Structure 1
């Protein structure tokens, strides 16, 4: 189980401290984005649909309370934890009224209190039944196939593949899903998407792996297995075919996205 988190704080040092606490907490929360103000954060929430938003209250452009209100108005049900100073309790009270999970005093925030807060949020998320992983926030679709096709059955297959790419997906299982002849589906899928079904699945797996390589510290082998490759050598071979480099090299090239 892994939950995604966005950190919103206009002070770079404070933002780094929150990320450090998240990393040291050894919890299931992973930072997938960070922002310096509420306006930027709202865009990230729409893009990643995080499970948790840890946000300062007083910020330029859009404060934390306004961010919470606009997120709720947009239908985003992520948990919010507000970071506040001693003289901002009225704002913290408003935030709780709008559904924030809790608030934390910035001056007294330490690893122990931070862990306690994360445990509370973790319990809330599990109670909501949101047992989802970081894949939920991936923009894992190949750019060329993000738009729906003009064929409803192929769109169903695409939805099926997007949800099931980690499993043993084959042309036969996809054909059975939409009750089509495998040969006919194979030809039709290629005509509508420019990919074979196998190529499409491999692209999804590689894009998911790229996300994990840059946003987690998990092992290359573990990531390969998580996205559907049961063989390390095959994972490395396919990953290099699509990206031009091995997973380890890719991680080194994009190390800035990993948790501190």
Structure 2
């Protein structure tokens, strides 16, 4: 139910409004009433109504001044104005302030209910947009983490595939150009944060500039792919990648065997004939993250992929990526994503 307050110094008017809202299934509930603008202003602060039905001519503060002050503090509150005066200038000003309707007293039930229906529709659309925005912000965090993981591991093809998936997802939602641009800007912002979290030496990210995003949808995808490839190139340069063949060998081995339950630092360091401590130091210097962090990232990425497939139970996924201890897997997954595997599945719609 959406919250309504009524503002009028005529009791009869307020009673008729309350009666109409109660009698018909309007989706609104009257939570407060006031006789003038000053009292109503305090009510709006205390109750945060979705809709205010107000008179124009009132003692202490007129309706237009009241509306203006409320809008300064809460632009989402909707207004219906009722007045005993058919004054065009008042109506014009009220509409400029974003008032949904200007009704004349005595209130005609059909007109009033039509106005309520209009407000209800607008509020529902705003709620839907807000929900979609919240969902996108959660998804964009996940997308950014996955993209940066692929970038950090220099997985060029995975980056391109992920960007194709993100772009297609937005196209399926039929978002407008400016909305898509804003969403990609969110993605770049999150990516910057993730890259900074990976290693101190990635703190200089001034070349990643979201303000240069193109306006056309068909160009945004290629812009993002090019940006990711540019970051990969920068990381390669900072690592002097390829100069330490032992680490490349270790990474290649982990690509094939990261799902083994018993894969360990000792095993991989033996493979490349290095002591565990020296290998650990060299690995972190080359990859920017520790051996354990790298292995965990690979496993968590695989877990997220498998969670998209409903045929797998969560304990089966844990075993498939090398976790014999299910509680340990759940704890690690939550630390990585902020959600348990079950919560993650619900969030993505399974």
Indicate the structure with greater helix content.
2
Which structure has the higher relative contact order (CA within 8 Å, separation 6+)?
1
TM-score in terms of structure 1 length: 0.48
Larger Rg: 2
